[in-house]
Amino acid sequence: MSEEAIESILLGGGRQYTRAQVAELSGVPAERASALWRALGFATQDDDAAVFTDGDVRALRLTDQLIQNGILDPSLASSTARMIGQHMSRLAESQVHMLRDVLAANPELGADERQVARLVEHLTPELETLQNYVWRRHLAAYAGRMLATPDEEVDERRQVVGFADMVGFTSLTRRATEKELVNIVDAFDSLAADVVAENHGRIVKMLGDEVLFVADSPADGAEIALTLLERAEQDPTVPALRAGLAYGQMLSRFGDVYGSVVNIASRLTSVARPGTVLVDLEMSEALADQHGYLVRPRRPVSVRGYTRLRSAALRRAGAEHAEGSSSGLADFTAELLGLVASEDDPHVPLEPDDERVTSRRRRRR
């Protein structure tokens, strides 16, 4: 089936307008229209290329109406479009892979362009309905929490940020087949989604072999991290996990999270031993009066950006450490002394220690 035919079905018509024409029809200045187009993740087109559709005209007109009505801040229009484009791009890619697998499993279907066209025509509105339902459910959940809380309380709200990653995944990618890696990543994604949802958290994003999540309370964050490690230990498909948690204020913007709390959680994950959870000082203090959890202080550790990062190991109360075996005793001693090893580097680019960078520059002078 040709690319033009697929586009005509999915876009509701062929490409027929140039950049100037779509700007004129929508009433949106050409410069703003081009900026929104790029923010959505689409390639810049030549001025005389007829690549836009009636759907593009409607989308631009709607965006301009939201701006004119004061719903969408003009300064945030491109950022909002960028966020939507990035998430929708990943969703579209996964759905195309799903359709390709269906056609590969049914070669007789793929050989008939009419049948492929009917499949796409039938499947697209079904997926659209499902996506709209999921979006509304998430919208209702967030609106219930955010709109019912005064602005000042929302700004001052403290949350738990957590990372959990698969230990040794980098070396695993060098010896596993593509199918094996797909099975491992799928199992990890499914495990993370189930555990985070069960314990009232939210997945910010999956980063290949790592999950970044947030929770409203220290108890929920602790339960997510510990349960992730326990479930992974029980699942032969998923490698051992390690996790790091930090508690405090952070910046949440367009579905992502930023700030020192995020940095610390990632740093703790990078130095945690397999099968362990490390928490920062704030998290440790918040869990001190929580029944069911035990925090054991560790010696400060030097990590990128933090010269003496204080942390504690988190366990369930009553959990016995296997000190009777040599490996258990070695793990216990290493943890107590803060002698931890990290096979894989953290996967999130984080901010450097500005003070250390400045001091190096001064010494060079």
DSSP assignments along 136-174, one per residue: HHHHHHHHHHHTTS-HHHHHT--EEEEEEEETTHHHHHH
Residue 14 structure tokens: 């062929």
**Which of 146, 172, 191 finishes a domain?**
146
Three-class SS state of 70: coil
**Phi/psi of residue 267, nearest 5 degrees:** -60, -45
The confidence band for 154, taking pLDDT boundaries of 50, 70 and 90, is low
Residue 61 structure tokens: 């007109």
- The pLDDT of residue 51 is 85
Pair (121, 167) in one structural domain: no
Q: State the average pLDDT for the chain.
A: 81
Pair (53, 95) in one structural domain: yes
Give the global pTM: 0.70
**Which of 146, 178, 207 finishes a domain?**
146
Contact criterion met (CB below 8 Å) for 210 and 244: no
Look at the chain and report how many structural domains it folds into.
2
- The pLDDT of residue 336 is 43
Asked if residue 303 is part of any domain, the answer here is yes
| CA proximity to 79, closest of 256, 286, 273 | 256
Pair (20, 165) in one structural domain: no
The whole-number average pLDDT for the span 175-204 is: 92
Pair (293, 316) in one structural domain: yes
Contact criterion met (CB below 8 Å) for 329 and 321: no
The confidence band for 228, taking pLDDT boundaries of 50, 70 and 90, is very high
| CA proximity to 285, closest of 314, 308, 265 | 314
Examine the pLDDT at 330 and tell me if it is beyond 80.
Answer: no
- Helix-strand-coil percent breakdown of the chain, rounded to 5? 55, 15, 30
**Is pLDDT larger for residue 347 or for residue 243?**
243
Percent of the chain at pLDDT exceeding 90 = 32
**Is pLDDT larger for residue 324 or for residue 153?**
153
Pair (173, 277) in one structural domain: yes
Helix (H) or strand (E) holding 202: strand 201-206
pLDDT in tens, 45-74: 788 888 888 888 888 888 888 888 888 888
Asked if residue 21 is part of any domain, the answer here is yes
Judged by average pLDDT, the poorest of 28-42, 152-166, 171-185 is: 152-166
Domain that holds residue 133: 3-146
Pair (46, 172) in one structural domain: no
Asked if residue 290 is part of any domain, the answer here is yes
Asked if residue 62 is part of any domain, the answer here is yes
Question: What CATH number corresponds to the domain at position 204?
Answer: 3.30.70.1230
Phi and psi based region of residue 165 (left: phi greater than 0; alpha: psi -120 to 50; beta: remaining)? beta
- The pLDDT of residue 269 is 94
**Which of 105, 121, 146 finishes a domain?**
146
Contact criterion met (CB below 8 Å) for 314 and 293: yes
Pair (326, 230) in one structural domain: yes
Examine the pLDDT at 195 and tell me if it is beyond 70.
Answer: yes
Q: What separation, in Å, do the N-terminal and C-terminal C-alpha atoms of the chain show?
A: 64
Percent of the chain at pLDDT exceeding 70 = 84
Pair (109, 87) in one structural domain: yes
pLDDT in tens, 283-317: 999 998 888 999 999 888 777 777 788 889 999 98
Pair (134, 31) in one structural domain: yes
Pair (132, 279) in one structural domain: no
C-alpha span between 165 and 352 (Å, rounded): 21
Pair (44, 168) in one structural domain: no
C-alpha span between 181 and 169 (Å, rounded): 9
Three-class SS state of 248: strand
Contact criterion met (CB below 8 Å) for 52 and 16: yes
| CA proximity to 340, closest of 179, 167, 94, 126 | 167
**Is pLDDT larger for residue 46 or for residue 168?**
168
Q: What CA–CA distances, in Å, run from 219 to 203, 214, 216? A: 16, 12, 9
The whole-number average pLDDT for the span 106-116 is: 84
Pair (31, 179) in one structural domain: no
Asked if residue 151 is part of any domain, the answer here is no
